[in-house]
Amino acid sequence: MPQETQREEEVVPPSPSPDSGGSKPAVATRPAPARPAPKPTVPSGWKVLLHNDDVNEMGYVVDTVSRIARLNLPAATRCMVEAHRKGVSLVTVTHRERAEFLEEQFRSCRLIVTIEPEA
């Protein structure tokens, strides 16, 4: 079965006729070029950062990070150790509303957490 292809029609100037009085070029229609579908807007990510503190015990921090951020124990432990050694650790990247919610949750548990837009 042969594949049909779209053909563009050409604008052909008409031949002048004595009874037309004036000649206008014949305008042929061309199919409109296909426009790409608009891409859906993806909200930019927000980083939730856990900061080191000298007040809370390591076990409490691991349990709290695991419970609030829904991380497994090895991931929560990694966050706690990284924050302890480097001063800050990335807990998760999420949309803004959830990042703000997590920040409030961590602060209510006396943990220092900040959020910032992902670059």
Q: Is the pLDDT of residue 17 over 90?
A: no
Question: What digits encode the pLDDT tens for the residues 48-99?
Answer: 999 999 999 999 999 999 999 999 999 999 999 999 999 999 999 999 999 9
pLDDT at 31: 73
Concatenating the DSSP letter of every residue in 33-101 gives: PPPPPPPPPPPPPEEEEEE--SSS-HHHHHHHHHHHHT--HHHHHHHHHHHHHHSEEEEEEE-HHHHHH
The whole model's pTM is what? 0.64
Residue 4 pLDDT level (bands cut at 50, 70, 90): low
